[in-house]
Structure 1
């Protein structure tokens, strides 16, 4: 049925009653063709998600996708370049958008593991490929006892939209193995007990289950062994899973490229790369590009470990510096005086904490699964990291007090809350208790649709997960390109750029010195000629006219003209010369010494002077190096007497030396996050979405994926 009369607010029916949606149609600009379109409705199977306390993860992603669909569909139909009728265009748009929603491939594998104690266990693993609009697919592999088909499908879908959001040309995928990879524990009564568990009657009690015989029951009611996996067992599990993926075509440099995720890291990625390269990919020169997040000596890239945390920082930075957004949430732009609470101190949380701390924000609380700590005066990231490394937990950290109940820490008042742990931590039952002004979703899916609506109504700025935690996949893309190119970033140009920069500085010094010397000498010569001519003219005229006034007139004229000439030409020229030279010359010697070398120890009348300049005689003009004059002057203030030492700052010296691989990676990541933030802001403004950045980000991603499908076509359809 045609939507002839637009409703002022979009409503969906839930349990027979009309519930207002967070996204209203008044937030979408009307177009001339609005009345010709039937407004896309959320599918009935997903309508409960808007109010559900704990919906399925994949259903959450689907729901957010349909919200973006509602915003972008009309524009895509109108801008479709074809000779088809409007109705035909509309059907085509709906058809292509419908392709984006489901997972294209989902694989489940089961294989046996012979444990070190000679017992046997069945291992279950998953890999989901959500979209093949771009290949290869990209997504991490996680080790967690909570891994199931719904979770990997949701994460794969999120990866599809995440890659499109930050313009990384990958499809979305995700994988996982349903094991707990923890290896630290102590034996008690023949059963391994993790430090985060407690013993009761000789049986280990997991924090999420109760003891039953020699097994624990997890939250889903399934038995879970408390015997932890050794490193040798984890390697066998990882290599076998890699083989299963390879045999079924779920891994390869141009097919599907995994990466680290929860419970995995460089070690596991190295095992996977080695397994693929020595089996299925033994004839493929690009075999090690089958996975990213590898160690540096195995083809990894500098900056990958901290990439997601660095991306979180830049994601927040791009919005916290925007006065318009900060005004809407009632705070000032910039990091000064901002406080934040972190949930989860894993790889992402730790690096996020570091970067925010360096920017000037203060961490006042950290929440982990085994406890929370709080200090309104601030928590030092380095001290906390060292304590956790030594003790395996943040509980008991001397730089903060324990917070009870631990799960309520995220409701403390702060400027920024960073959920960096698991999904669905903000729900309909607790969202109204949140007192922060900004939520940076470093974890995947931490906010349910119901909580999202409540938080937007509370005027809280939510920086969505598909944008803010895309730093990892962005740098993984750089690593993948490095592996395909078989050369490190900057290796071919590093030395050339460094020498070019020094050479340009040397030329600048030589040319400046030559020009300045010429100006000074020319000014002095011209001044002398002018004065002499004026003196002679005055003398002649005065003698002919009034002989008695010759001497007074000559004296006065000479003094006046000399003063004017020197004041107007000579002094400014010398001042400019001094300033230019003091800025350009040398890092090792002081400006004073450089000036002495240029002017005091060299006779401009020497016929070899010009030759020395042009040939850059090292005895006359030493080869210059870069320096930070500003830093040197700051060091000098407050001292009495002596020369001003001009020393290059470390950062400035690194800049002039050329960009390293790490510099290039950081620059590429920073630019990616900045450009994507601008695109999200433009879309939010274009459709009057206000602070609903999530819908804007999904709309951007949907438009890019749609254009790929439309231009490439659909095979065998």
Structure 2
């Protein structure tokens, strides 16, 4: 870890962001204390029988941050670098993300320490079912509703839903306990696209706020997984040229814009952007931070933008598709450069918003079309953007304004419940 930056622990960063917003609001110290630590942290050991007949133990977590506004909500990631503090941070951010979108949820998050690329399909299924079994005592459609996250998908949610339903032994499939499922299995249209679509929408609103037009804006997307690929696709559809994208292997560049649909097809076939014939240049993945652009969208993992690369970024707007992609020290550098930052708890809130729509539809067995879902998502996100801007214009950066907006919504039910 570089020595020129003191803090990159994501949970400590989440606490710092919370404290700054509570201080700006002049909130009761009790609000900060109640929100600075999660209500519940569950650590589990998951035994999985491997294909060769051996058994292996995997470590997993489920963190429930705050259930004052309603049941907890948050994804589950499968990644070798999952830590307890990371999951606690992600659960904390989820609470504020739900508050920003005025959803009746508190935040939660889950994770398993594993590289899913090293597992067979059968081993992955047994791990998913094992994790669902381990967290069953603390989840439920009115208590905590998991969803996909990094390296998890609709198929994994189906396995978890099926396992949970069997364990509950009620003789029916409990669809509303997990979201992010395939449409054919109680899922919601436009859920797969939702987070990336929301990133593009918020970039468009930021461009509009700056008095500009989307047409011709040059965008760069760091990370080309589910979020990054759909963010790039919708940025292109909204009129921007996506001139560079990166993944773990390389960065692709084309001054006239990459063909994102063709790149998505290439990536689906090859599991990497590397080797895409439609790029003018293939560079080192870290070069993505050096490409001059108008909109920069970090859509990979936390702590992507640090003091080591913040000076390299030449953009007017940063729209955070990942959770916690910018360290506090790097954010200061970016703000001093006059870069407008749309924070993660707003920019990537499309996923949880459409997960909420899926949950509502599961509870009532009434389903909306793709266009209806995207229209509802767009309306909610633009409304939140405008309300946060009103706070921001009183003299705050947009991240602090978003936290202030969210904390007000969370503190009220905590007061009404008599928690302080």
Q: 1:697 to 1:337 in 2, by over 3 A?
A: same
- Is 2:340 the partner of 1:461? yes
- 2:84 aligned with 1:149, yes or no? yes
Q: Aligned residue for 1:252?
A: 140
1:675 is matched with: 383
Higher mean displacement: 112-121 or 400-409:
400-409
Residue 336 of structure 1, CA deviation: 1.7
The change in CA–CA distance for 1:483 and 1:336 in structure 2 (over 3 A counts) is same
Q: Report how far residue 404 of structure 1 moved.
A: 3.2
**SS of residue paired to 2:167:** coil
Deviations 1:219-249 (A, max 9, x none): xxxxxxxxx2111111111111101111xx2
| CA positional deviation for 1:53 | 5.1
Match in the other structure for 2:25? 72
Residue 405 of structure 2 corresponds to residue 709 of structure 1: no
- Show CA shifts across 1:160-208 (max 9, x none): 00000110110100001111111xxxxxxxxxxxxxxxxxxxxxxxxxx
Q: Counterpart of 1:371?
A: 250
Residues 66-145 of structure 1 mapped to structure 2, 5 A cutoff: 66-73=19-26, 93-145=28-80
State whether structure 2 residue 242 is matched by structure 1 residue 242: no
Other-structure match for 1:382: 261
**Residue 306 of structure 1: SS of its match in structure 2?**
helix
2:10·2:89 contact (CA, 8 Å) conserved in 1? yes
CA distance in 2, matches of 1:382, 1:470: 23
Could you say what secondary structure the match of 2:189 adopts? Answer: coil
Secondary structure, aligned partner of 2:405: helix
Measure how far apart 1:68 and its partner are.
0.5
Q: Is the 8 A contact 2:219 2:295 kept in 1?
A: yes
Q: Which residue of 1 aligns with 2:162?
A: 274
Matches within 5 A, 1:471-550: 471-489=350-368
- The corresponding residue for 1:346 is 225
Cα deviation, residue 101, structure 1: 1.2
CA distance in 2, matches of 1:68, 1:471: 22
98, 106, 112: which one aligns with 1:177: 112
Offset from partner CA, 1:244-290 (integer Å, 9 cap, x none): 111xx22110111000000000000001111111221525x682100
Residue 189 of structure 2 corresponds to which residue in structure 1? Answer: 302
Could you tell me how far apart the structure 2 residues matched to 1:694 and 1:286 are? 40
CA–CA distance in structure 1, aligned partners of residues 37 and 31 of structure 2? 12
Paired residue for 2:16, among 42, 63, 66?
A: 63
Asked whether the 8 Å contact 2:199–2:319 carries over to 1, the reply is yes
Instruction: Quote the offset at 1:318 in angstroms.
Output: 1.6
Of the three residues 317, 327, 331, the one matched with 1:438 is 317
Determine which structure has greater relative contact order: mean sequence separation of CA pairs < 8 Å that are 6+ residues apart, divided by chain length: 2
> How big is each residue's C-alpha offset from its partner over 1:693-714, in whole Å with a ceiling of 9 and x where there is no partner?
0000000011111111112222
For each residue in 1:38-81, what CA deviation from the matched residue of structure 2 results, as whole angstroms up to 9, or x when unmatched?
Answer: xxxxxxxxxxxxx73552010011101111011111xx5xxxxx
Could you tell me how far 1:447 is from its partner in structure 2? 0.2
> What's the CA shift for 1:432?
1.5
* 8 Å Cα contact 2:18/2:32 also seen in 1: no
Does 2:268 correspond to 1:315?
Answer: no
Residues of 1 paired with 2:188 and 2:370: CA distance?
8
- Structure number with bigger Rg: 1
In the other structure, the counterpart of 2:403 is: 698
Q: Is the 8 A contact 1:418 1:442 kept in 2?
A: yes
**Which runs of 5 or more residues in structure 1 are unaligned?**
1-50, 77-92, 183-227, 327-331, 490-660
Q: How big is the shift at 1:405?
A: 3.2
Shift of 1:377: 1.4
1:395–1:402 Cα contact (<8 Å) kept = no
Residue 434 (structure 1) shift: 1.1
1:414-425 mapped onto 2 (5 Å cutoff): 414-425=293-304
Native 8 Å contact 1:276 1:282 kept in 2: no
The answer to whether the Cα contact below 8 Å between 1:364 and 1:378 also exists between their aligned partners in 2 is yes
Provide the rounded CA distance (Å) in 2 between the counterparts of 1:70 and 1:307.
33
Instruction: Give the C-alpha shift of residue 373 in structure 1.
Output: 1.1
What's the TM-score once normalised by structure 2's chain length? 0.96
Q: Secondary structure at the match of 2:162?
A: helix
Does structure 1 retain, via aligned residues, the 8 Å contact 2:47–2:130?
A: no
Whether contact under 8 Å (2:48, 2:130) holds in the other structure is no
**Aligned counterparts of 2:285 and 2:344: Cα–Cα separation in 1:** 24
- Residues 282-330 of structure 1: per-residue CA shift (max 9 Å, x gap): 25x68210000111121111111101111111111222112xxx2xxxx
For the 8 Å contact 1:135–1:256, the answer to whether it is kept is: no
Q: 1:590 maps to which residue?
A: none
Asked whether the 8 Å contact 2:38–2:66 carries over to 1, the reply is yes
Cα shift at 1:403: 3.6
Contact 2:295/2:315, CA 8 A, preserved across alignment: yes
Tell me: CA distance 1:675–1:281, structure 2 relative to 1, closer, same or farther (3 Å). Answer: farther
